[in-house]
A and B are shown apart, each in its own frame.
Chain A
Amino acid sequence: MKRGFTILGIVTALLLSIALYTALAWAPTEQTMGHVQRIFYYHVSSAWTAFLLFSLNFISSIVYLVKRNEKADIFALVSAEVGLVFCTVVLVTGPIWAKPVWGIWWDPADIRLNSTLALWLIYISYLILRRFSTSSRIGVIAAVWGIFGALDVPFVFFSIWFFRTQHPSPVIAKGGSLDPKMWIAVLINWAAFMCLAWLVCWTRYRLEVAQREVHEAEAMQSLMEGAR
Protein backbone atom coordinates (compact mmCIF):
# COMPACT_ATOMS: atom_id res chain seq x y z
CA MET A 1 0.00 0.00 0.00
CA LYS A 2 2.72 2.44 0.97
CA ARG A 3 4.76 1.46 -2.02
CA GLY A 4 1.83 1.96 -4.37
CA PHE A 5 1.37 5.43 -2.96
CA THR A 6 5.02 6.34 -3.61
CA ILE A 7 4.87 4.96 -7.15
CA LEU A 8 1.67 6.92 -7.83
CA GLY A 9 3.35 10.05 -6.49
CA ILE A 10 6.33 9.65 -8.81
CA VAL A 11 4.12 8.88 -11.81
CA THR A 12 1.98 11.94 -11.07
CA ALA A 13 5.02 14.20 -10.79
CA LEU A 14 6.42 12.89 -14.09
CA LEU A 15 3.10 13.14 -15.90
CA LEU A 16 2.47 16.66 -14.63
CA SER A 17 5.90 17.80 -15.88
CA ILE A 18 5.33 16.26 -19.31
CA ALA A 19 1.83 17.72 -19.38
CA LEU A 20 3.16 21.18 -18.57
CA TYR A 21 5.65 20.94 -21.43
CA THR A 22 3.11 19.63 -23.95
CA ALA A 23 0.50 22.22 -23.03
CA LEU A 24 2.76 25.26 -22.96
CA ALA A 25 5.44 24.47 -25.56
CA TRP A 26 4.88 21.34 -27.60
CA ALA A 27 1.28 21.79 -28.72
CA PRO A 28 0.92 24.17 -31.70
CA THR A 29 -0.36 27.70 -31.09
CA GLU A 30 -3.96 28.18 -32.10
CA GLN A 31 -4.39 30.42 -35.17
CA THR A 32 -7.02 32.94 -34.08
CA MET A 33 -6.84 32.87 -30.30
CA GLY A 34 -3.08 32.61 -29.91
CA HIS A 35 -1.50 31.54 -26.67
CA VAL A 36 -4.67 32.18 -24.67
CA GLN A 37 -6.02 28.94 -26.09
CA ARG A 38 -3.45 26.97 -24.08
CA ILE A 39 -5.56 27.35 -20.96
CA PHE A 40 -7.90 24.90 -22.69
CA TYR A 41 -5.63 21.99 -21.68
CA TYR A 42 -6.13 22.78 -18.00
CA HIS A 43 -9.75 23.78 -18.32
CA VAL A 44 -10.93 20.66 -20.13
CA SER A 45 -8.82 18.23 -18.11
CA SER A 46 -10.10 19.70 -14.84
CA ALA A 47 -13.68 19.59 -16.09
CA TRP A 48 -13.49 15.92 -17.04
CA THR A 49 -11.83 15.08 -13.73
CA ALA A 50 -14.40 17.04 -11.72
CA PHE A 51 -17.38 15.45 -13.48
CA LEU A 52 -15.90 11.99 -13.00
CA LEU A 53 -15.39 12.64 -9.28
CA PHE A 54 -18.96 13.91 -8.89
CA SER A 55 -20.24 10.75 -10.58
CA LEU A 56 -18.14 8.72 -8.17
CA ASN A 57 -19.74 10.64 -5.31
CA PHE A 58 -23.17 9.65 -6.62
CA ILE A 59 -22.18 5.98 -6.92
CA SER A 60 -20.58 5.89 -3.46
CA SER A 61 -23.67 7.56 -1.98
CA ILE A 62 -25.90 4.81 -3.37
CA VAL A 63 -23.48 2.11 -2.25
CA TYR A 64 -23.41 3.58 1.24
CA LEU A 65 -27.20 3.75 1.48
CA VAL A 66 -27.57 0.15 0.35
CA LYS A 67 -24.65 -1.51 2.13
CA ARG A 68 -23.85 0.97 4.93
CA ASN A 69 -20.19 0.38 4.23
CA GLU A 70 -18.11 3.07 5.92
CA LYS A 71 -15.49 3.05 3.17
CA ALA A 72 -18.17 4.18 0.69
CA ASP A 73 -19.09 7.04 3.00
CA ILE A 74 -15.50 8.23 3.27
CA PHE A 75 -15.08 7.90 -0.46
CA ALA A 76 -18.22 9.96 -1.09
CA LEU A 77 -16.85 12.73 1.12
CA VAL A 78 -13.40 12.62 -0.48
CA SER A 79 -14.68 12.62 -4.06
CA ALA A 80 -16.97 15.57 -3.37
CA GLU A 81 -14.13 17.57 -1.82
CA VAL A 82 -11.59 16.89 -4.53
CA GLY A 83 -14.21 17.23 -7.27
CA LEU A 84 -15.10 20.64 -5.91
CA VAL A 85 -11.47 21.74 -6.13
CA PHE A 86 -11.25 20.71 -9.79
CA CYS A 87 -14.64 22.29 -10.49
CA THR A 88 -13.31 25.53 -9.01
CA VAL A 89 -10.34 25.33 -11.37
CA VAL A 90 -12.80 25.00 -14.28
CA LEU A 91 -14.81 28.01 -13.13
CA VAL A 92 -11.67 30.12 -12.67
CA THR A 93 -9.87 29.19 -15.90
CA GLY A 94 -13.06 29.61 -17.95
CA PRO A 95 -13.47 33.36 -17.43
CA ILE A 96 -9.71 33.93 -17.81
CA TRP A 97 -10.03 32.44 -21.29
CA ALA A 98 -13.39 34.05 -22.05
CA LYS A 99 -12.37 37.65 -21.36
CA PRO A 100 -9.86 37.97 -24.23
CA VAL A 101 -11.78 35.65 -26.59
CA TRP A 102 -15.45 36.58 -26.01
CA GLY A 103 -14.79 40.01 -24.54
CA ILE A 104 -16.75 39.14 -21.40
CA TRP A 105 -15.81 37.26 -18.24
CA TRP A 106 -19.06 35.42 -17.87
CA ASP A 107 -22.07 34.77 -20.06
CA PRO A 108 -25.09 34.64 -17.73
CA ALA A 109 -27.28 32.79 -20.24
CA ASP A 110 -24.87 30.06 -21.31
CA ILE A 111 -25.89 26.49 -20.64
CA ARG A 112 -22.51 24.96 -19.92
CA LEU A 113 -21.37 27.76 -17.68
CA ASN A 114 -24.56 27.71 -15.67
CA SER A 115 -24.74 23.93 -15.34
CA THR A 116 -21.19 23.82 -14.03
CA LEU A 117 -21.90 26.67 -11.63
CA ALA A 118 -25.06 24.95 -10.35
CA LEU A 119 -23.12 21.73 -9.87
CA TRP A 120 -20.48 23.63 -7.92
CA LEU A 121 -23.17 25.16 -5.67
CA ILE A 122 -24.78 21.76 -5.03
CA TYR A 123 -21.52 20.20 -3.86
CA ILE A 124 -20.70 23.18 -1.68
CA SER A 125 -24.06 22.57 0.01
CA TYR A 126 -23.07 18.93 0.41
CA LEU A 127 -19.86 19.84 2.22
CA ILE A 128 -21.56 22.50 4.37
CA LEU A 129 -24.18 19.93 5.39
CA ARG A 130 -21.46 17.50 6.43
CA ARG A 131 -19.53 20.16 8.28
CA PHE A 132 -22.53 21.56 10.16
CA SER A 133 -24.10 18.28 11.11
CA THR A 134 -24.18 17.19 14.70
CA SER A 135 -25.85 13.88 13.94
CA SER A 136 -23.91 10.69 14.47
CA ARG A 137 -25.42 9.31 11.29
CA ILE A 138 -24.46 12.13 8.99
CA GLY A 139 -23.25 9.62 6.40
CA VAL A 140 -26.80 8.58 5.62
CA ILE A 141 -28.08 12.12 5.35
CA ALA A 142 -25.14 13.20 3.22
CA ALA A 143 -25.67 10.19 0.94
CA VAL A 144 -29.32 11.18 0.47
CA TRP A 145 -28.22 14.69 -0.41
CA GLY A 146 -25.66 13.31 -2.85
CA ILE A 147 -28.44 11.43 -4.64
CA PHE A 148 -30.71 14.50 -4.71
CA GLY A 149 -27.87 16.59 -6.08
CA ALA A 150 -27.23 14.10 -8.86
CA LEU A 151 -30.96 13.95 -9.69
CA ASP A 152 -30.93 17.72 -10.03
CA VAL A 153 -28.20 17.77 -12.68
CA PRO A 154 -30.37 16.76 -15.69
CA PHE A 155 -32.96 19.36 -14.66
CA VAL A 156 -30.36 22.08 -14.44
CA PHE A 157 -29.22 21.08 -17.88
CA PHE A 158 -32.71 21.05 -19.40
CA SER A 159 -33.80 24.24 -17.67
CA ILE A 160 -31.12 26.20 -19.50
CA TRP A 161 -30.84 24.09 -22.61
CA PHE A 162 -32.58 26.35 -24.97
CA PHE A 163 -30.49 29.29 -24.09
CA ARG A 164 -27.90 29.87 -26.76
CA THR A 165 -24.40 28.67 -26.11
CA GLN A 166 -21.21 30.19 -27.36
CA HIS A 167 -19.15 27.68 -25.49
CA PRO A 168 -16.96 25.82 -27.98
CA SER A 169 -18.33 22.30 -27.68
CA PRO A 170 -17.81 20.89 -31.21
CA VAL A 171 -14.05 20.99 -30.75
CA ILE A 172 -14.21 17.87 -28.64
CA ALA A 173 -17.49 16.30 -29.73
CA LYS A 174 -16.72 16.19 -33.45
CA GLY A 175 -13.02 15.86 -33.02
CA GLY A 176 -12.22 16.80 -36.61
CA SER A 177 -11.11 20.37 -36.15
CA LEU A 178 -8.62 19.69 -33.40
CA ASP A 179 -4.98 19.27 -34.37
CA PRO A 180 -3.77 15.74 -33.44
CA LYS A 181 -0.98 17.28 -31.37
CA MET A 182 -3.56 19.23 -29.40
CA TRP A 183 -5.48 16.01 -28.85
CA ILE A 184 -2.40 14.32 -27.47
CA ALA A 185 -1.67 17.32 -25.26
CA VAL A 186 -5.16 17.36 -23.82
CA LEU A 187 -5.12 13.63 -23.18
CA ILE A 188 -1.75 13.79 -21.44
CA ASN A 189 -3.00 16.65 -19.33
CA TRP A 190 -6.12 14.74 -18.46
CA ALA A 191 -4.10 11.68 -17.47
CA ALA A 192 -1.86 13.86 -15.31
CA PHE A 193 -4.84 15.53 -13.63
CA MET A 194 -6.51 12.17 -13.03
CA CYS A 195 -3.36 10.88 -11.35
CA LEU A 196 -3.17 14.03 -9.27
CA ALA A 197 -6.82 13.65 -8.27
CA TRP A 198 -6.22 10.02 -7.40
CA LEU A 199 -3.20 10.95 -5.29
CA VAL A 200 -5.06 13.71 -3.44
CA CYS A 201 -8.10 11.48 -2.89
CA TRP A 202 -5.90 8.72 -1.55
CA THR A 203 -4.15 11.09 0.87
CA ARG A 204 -7.43 12.60 1.99
CA TYR A 205 -8.93 9.14 2.39
CA ARG A 206 -6.09 8.03 4.68
CA LEU A 207 -6.41 11.24 6.65
CA GLU A 208 -10.15 10.75 7.11
CA VAL A 209 -9.68 7.14 8.20
CA ALA A 210 -7.06 8.24 10.73
CA GLN A 211 -9.29 11.04 11.98
CA ARG A 212 -12.20 8.68 12.52
CA GLU A 213 -9.96 6.23 14.36
CA VAL A 214 -8.75 9.03 16.63
CA HIS A 215 -12.34 10.10 17.33
CA GLU A 216 -13.31 6.55 18.14
CA ALA A 217 -10.33 6.08 20.44
CA GLU A 218 -11.10 9.32 22.22
CA ALA A 219 -14.72 8.32 22.69
CA MET A 220 -13.64 4.94 24.05
CA GLN A 221 -11.17 6.56 26.43
CA SER A 222 -13.72 8.95 27.87
CA LEU A 223 -16.11 6.01 28.29
CA MET A 224 -13.45 4.06 30.17
CA GLU A 225 -12.68 7.04 32.38
CA GLY A 226 -16.36 7.47 33.09
CA ALA A 227 -16.66 3.82 34.11
CA ARG A 228 -13.77 3.99 36.51
Chain B
Amino acid sequence: MSFLAIARATLAKDVRLEWRSKDAINAMLFFSLLVVVIFSFAFDPTAEESRRIAGGLVWVAFLFAAIVALNQTWARELRNQVLDAYRVSPAPATPLFIAKALGNFLFVGVLEVLMTPLFVMFYKLRPLGLGWELVPVALLGTWALVVNGTFFAAMSLRTRAREIMLPLLLFPLSIPALLGMVNATTAILTGEESPAFWIALLVAYDVVFTTACLLLFETVLEAE
Protein backbone atom coordinates (compact mmCIF):
# COMPACT_ATOMS: atom_id res chain seq x y z
CA MET B 1 0.00 0.00 0.00
CA SER B 2 1.20 3.44 -0.76
CA PHE B 3 1.91 6.12 1.80
CA LEU B 4 -1.28 8.00 1.00
CA ALA B 5 -3.46 4.91 1.04
CA ILE B 6 -2.28 3.96 4.55
CA ALA B 7 -2.81 7.47 5.85
CA ARG B 8 -6.24 7.70 4.24
CA ALA B 9 -7.36 4.32 5.56
CA THR B 10 -6.26 5.13 9.12
CA LEU B 11 -7.83 8.56 9.04
CA ALA B 12 -11.10 7.23 7.60
CA LYS B 13 -11.24 4.55 10.29
CA ASP B 14 -10.66 7.07 13.10
CA VAL B 15 -13.19 9.53 11.75
CA ARG B 16 -15.77 6.75 11.35
CA LEU B 17 -15.15 5.55 14.89
CA GLU B 18 -15.53 9.05 16.25
CA TRP B 19 -18.61 9.72 14.12
CA ARG B 20 -20.33 6.67 15.52
CA SER B 21 -19.31 6.96 19.16
CA LYS B 22 -18.80 10.75 19.46
CA ASP B 23 -16.88 10.02 22.68
CA ALA B 24 -14.10 12.55 22.33
CA ILE B 25 -16.03 15.38 20.78
CA ASN B 26 -18.83 15.23 23.37
CA ALA B 27 -16.41 15.21 26.28
CA MET B 28 -14.37 18.05 24.78
CA LEU B 29 -17.44 20.15 24.03
CA PHE B 30 -18.87 19.75 27.49
CA PHE B 31 -15.52 20.43 29.11
CA SER B 32 -14.93 23.68 27.22
CA LEU B 33 -18.53 24.74 27.79
CA LEU B 34 -17.91 24.33 31.52
CA VAL B 35 -14.74 26.44 31.25
CA VAL B 36 -16.64 29.19 29.45
CA VAL B 37 -19.47 29.23 31.95
CA ILE B 38 -17.35 28.97 35.09
CA PHE B 39 -14.96 31.70 34.01
CA SER B 40 -17.79 33.97 33.01
CA PHE B 41 -19.31 33.50 36.49
CA ALA B 42 -15.96 34.06 38.12
CA PHE B 43 -14.93 37.20 36.23
CA ASP B 44 -17.97 38.87 34.68
CA PRO B 45 -15.67 41.09 32.61
CA THR B 46 -16.50 44.22 30.64
CA ALA B 47 -15.97 44.17 26.87
CA GLU B 48 -12.62 45.95 27.25
CA GLU B 49 -11.33 43.53 29.91
CA SER B 50 -12.49 40.46 28.07
CA ARG B 51 -10.47 41.48 25.01
CA ARG B 52 -7.40 41.26 27.23
CA ILE B 53 -8.16 37.94 28.87
CA ALA B 54 -10.13 36.07 26.18
CA GLY B 55 -7.04 34.96 24.22
CA GLY B 56 -5.59 33.21 27.22
CA LEU B 57 -8.92 31.78 28.31
CA VAL B 58 -9.89 30.36 24.92
CA TRP B 59 -6.57 28.69 24.29
CA VAL B 60 -6.20 27.24 27.74
CA ALA B 61 -9.73 25.82 27.42
CA PHE B 62 -8.91 24.27 24.03
CA LEU B 63 -5.56 22.94 25.26
CA PHE B 64 -7.18 21.21 28.23
CA ALA B 65 -10.04 19.90 26.11
CA ALA B 66 -7.68 18.59 23.42
CA ILE B 67 -6.14 16.25 25.99
CA VAL B 68 -9.31 14.16 25.81
CA ALA B 69 -8.95 13.50 22.09
CA LEU B 70 -5.18 13.05 22.32
CA ASN B 71 -5.38 10.54 25.15
CA GLN B 72 -7.66 8.19 23.27
CA THR B 73 -5.59 8.35 20.05
CA TRP B 74 -3.37 5.38 20.79
CA ALA B 75 -5.10 3.88 23.80
CA ARG B 76 -7.77 2.68 21.42
CA GLU B 77 -5.18 0.79 19.37
CA LEU B 78 -3.86 -1.10 22.39
CA ARG B 79 -7.02 -3.16 22.62
CA ASN B 80 -6.79 -6.29 20.47
CA GLN B 81 -3.08 -5.55 19.92
CA VAL B 82 -3.76 -3.37 16.88
CA LEU B 83 -0.55 -1.47 17.43
CA ASP B 84 1.51 -4.66 17.63
CA ALA B 85 -0.06 -5.84 14.40
CA TYR B 86 0.83 -2.54 12.79
CA ARG B 87 4.39 -2.80 14.05
CA VAL B 88 4.99 -6.20 12.48
CA SER B 89 3.31 -5.22 9.22
CA PRO B 90 5.57 -3.85 6.44
CA ALA B 91 3.73 -0.49 6.48
CA PRO B 92 5.92 2.50 7.37
CA ALA B 93 5.18 4.33 10.62
CA THR B 94 5.05 7.88 9.27
CA PRO B 95 1.64 7.71 7.49
CA LEU B 96 0.13 6.26 10.66
CA PHE B 97 1.38 9.22 12.64
CA ILE B 98 0.22 11.74 10.04
CA ALA B 99 -3.25 10.19 9.93
CA LYS B 100 -3.53 10.23 13.72
CA ALA B 101 -2.36 13.83 13.94
CA LEU B 102 -4.75 14.90 11.17
CA GLY B 103 -7.61 13.10 12.88
CA ASN B 104 -6.93 14.93 16.14
CA PHE B 105 -6.56 18.19 14.22
CA LEU B 106 -10.00 17.60 12.76
CA PHE B 107 -11.61 16.81 16.12
CA VAL B 108 -10.09 19.80 17.88
CA GLY B 109 -10.93 21.98 14.85
CA VAL B 110 -14.58 20.98 15.04
CA LEU B 111 -14.53 21.77 18.75
CA GLU B 112 -13.10 25.23 18.06
CA VAL B 113 -15.65 26.00 15.35
CA LEU B 114 -18.51 25.02 17.65
CA MET B 115 -17.17 26.77 20.74
CA THR B 116 -16.05 30.08 19.25
CA PRO B 117 -19.62 31.52 18.93
CA LEU B 118 -20.21 30.71 22.60
CA PHE B 119 -17.02 32.47 23.63
CA VAL B 120 -18.03 35.50 21.56
CA MET B 121 -21.44 35.51 23.19
CA PHE B 122 -20.38 35.05 26.80
CA TYR B 123 -17.46 37.47 26.66
CA LYS B 124 -19.00 40.12 24.39
CA LEU B 125 -16.05 39.80 22.01
CA ARG B 126 -15.61 42.07 19.02
CA PRO B 127 -12.12 42.17 17.54
CA LEU B 128 -10.67 45.64 17.04
CA GLY B 129 -7.96 44.29 14.72
CA LEU B 130 -8.44 42.23 11.57
CA GLY B 131 -10.77 39.42 12.56
CA TRP B 132 -9.83 37.07 9.70
CA GLU B 133 -6.29 36.86 11.07
CA LEU B 134 -7.68 34.65 13.83
CA VAL B 135 -8.08 31.86 11.25
CA PRO B 136 -4.36 31.29 10.52
CA VAL B 137 -3.60 31.68 14.23
CA ALA B 138 -6.17 29.00 15.05
CA LEU B 139 -4.92 26.64 12.32
CA LEU B 140 -1.25 27.01 13.28
CA GLY B 141 -1.93 26.92 17.00
CA THR B 142 -4.13 23.84 16.82
CA TRP B 143 -1.58 22.02 14.72
CA ALA B 144 1.18 22.92 17.21
CA LEU B 145 -0.81 21.36 20.07
CA VAL B 146 -2.03 18.37 18.13
CA VAL B 147 1.20 17.28 16.45
CA ASN B 148 3.16 17.24 19.71
CA GLY B 149 0.20 15.86 21.61
CA THR B 150 -0.20 12.91 19.24
CA PHE B 151 3.51 12.20 19.50
CA PHE B 152 3.66 12.39 23.29
CA ALA B 153 0.52 10.28 23.60
CA ALA B 154 2.45 7.54 21.80
CA MET B 155 5.44 8.12 24.10
CA SER B 156 3.35 7.81 27.24
CA LEU B 157 1.58 4.60 26.23
CA ARG B 158 3.74 2.43 28.43
CA THR B 159 3.64 4.44 31.61
CA ARG B 160 1.76 4.16 34.84
CA ALA B 161 -1.06 6.71 35.07
CA ARG B 162 -1.00 7.17 31.31
CA GLU B 163 -3.85 9.65 31.18
CA ILE B 164 -2.11 12.10 33.48
CA MET B 165 1.29 11.61 31.84
CA LEU B 166 0.28 13.28 28.57
CA PRO B 167 -0.46 16.74 30.01
CA LEU B 168 2.71 16.52 32.09
CA LEU B 169 4.68 16.13 28.87
CA LEU B 170 2.65 18.35 26.59
CA PHE B 171 2.15 21.45 28.75
CA PRO B 172 5.78 22.34 29.49
CA LEU B 173 6.82 21.85 25.89
CA SER B 174 3.86 23.84 24.59
CA ILE B 175 4.69 26.97 26.57
CA PRO B 176 6.17 28.85 23.57
CA ALA B 177 3.34 27.76 21.24
CA LEU B 178 0.75 28.74 23.82
CA LEU B 179 2.41 32.13 24.29
CA GLY B 180 2.33 32.57 20.52
CA MET B 181 -1.36 31.72 20.21
CA VAL B 182 -2.43 33.77 23.21
CA ASN B 183 -0.43 36.84 22.28
CA ALA B 184 -1.48 36.70 18.63
CA THR B 185 -5.14 36.39 19.64
CA THR B 186 -4.86 39.23 22.14
CA ALA B 187 -3.10 41.39 19.55
CA ILE B 188 -5.92 40.80 17.06
CA LEU B 189 -8.70 41.32 19.61
CA THR B 190 -7.29 44.56 21.02
CA GLY B 191 -5.98 45.76 17.65
CA GLU B 192 -3.10 47.47 19.42
CA GLU B 193 -0.22 45.69 17.74
CA SER B 194 0.49 43.43 14.79
CA PRO B 195 0.32 39.67 15.42
CA ALA B 196 2.96 39.07 12.70
CA PHE B 197 5.78 38.16 15.09
CA TRP B 198 3.65 35.62 16.92
CA ILE B 199 2.36 34.06 13.71
CA ALA B 200 5.93 33.70 12.47
CA LEU B 201 6.87 32.09 15.78
CA LEU B 202 4.00 29.62 15.40
CA VAL B 203 5.03 28.78 11.83
CA ALA B 204 8.61 28.10 12.94
CA TYR B 205 7.41 26.04 15.91
CA ASP B 206 5.12 23.98 13.67
CA VAL B 207 7.82 23.33 11.10
CA VAL B 208 10.49 22.32 13.63
CA PHE B 209 8.30 20.06 15.73
CA THR B 210 6.46 18.45 12.82
CA THR B 211 9.83 17.54 11.33
CA ALA B 212 11.09 16.20 14.66
CA CYS B 213 7.92 14.14 15.16
CA LEU B 214 8.11 12.64 11.66
CA LEU B 215 11.79 11.79 12.04
CA LEU B 216 11.51 10.25 15.49
CA PHE B 217 8.10 8.59 15.37
CA GLU B 218 9.37 5.29 14.03
CA THR B 219 11.87 5.10 16.89
CA VAL B 220 9.15 5.73 19.46
CA LEU B 221 6.75 3.25 17.90
CA GLU B 222 9.42 0.55 17.96
CA ALA B 223 10.43 1.29 21.54
CA GLU B 224 6.99 1.79 22.99
Contact = CB atoms under 8 A, between A and B. Distances in A.
A62 B46 CA distance: 51
B175 A129 contact: no
B205 A141 contact: no
B155 A129 contact: yes
Contact of A155 (B156, B169, B205): B205
Chain B CB within 10 Å, residue with most, of A124, A125, A132, A159: A159
Interface residues of B, number: 30
Chief secondary structure at chain B's binding surface: helix
B209 A151 contact: yes
B212 A151 contact: yes
Given A128-B168, A129-B156, A162-B197, A148 B161 contact: no
A141 B212 contact: no
A121 B208 CA distance: 20
Interface string B200-224: 0100110011001000100110111
B158 A129 contact: no
A158 interface: yes
Given A129-B155, A140-B219, A147-B216, A118 B161 contact: no
A156 to B, nearest CB: 5
B155 A144 contact: yes
Contact of A152 (B159, B173, B220): B173
A155 B200 CA distance: 11
A154 to B, nearest CB: 9
B220 A160 contact: no
Given A132-B159, A159-B179, A159-B180, A125 B168 contact: yes
Contacts of B168: 125, 128-129
Given A140-B220, A141-B220, A152 B176 contact: yes
A51 interface: no
Interface residues of A, number: 28
A59 interface: no
Given A135-B224, A156-B175, A159-B201, A129 B165 contact: yes
Contact of A158 (B201, B209, B216, B220): B201
Interface string B157-176: 01111000100110011011
Contacts of A148: 148, 173, 209, 212
Nearest to A122: B172
Given A155-B204, A155-B205, A160 B179 contact: yes
Contacts of B224: 135, 137, 141
Contacts of B173: 122, 125, 148-149, 152
Interface of B: 148, 155-156, 158-161, 165, 168-169, 172-173, 175-177, 179-180, 197, 201, 204-205, 208-209, 212, 216, 219-220, 222-224
Going nearest first, the 4 A-B pairs with the smallest beta carbon separation are A135-B158, A155-B176, A140-B223, A159-B176
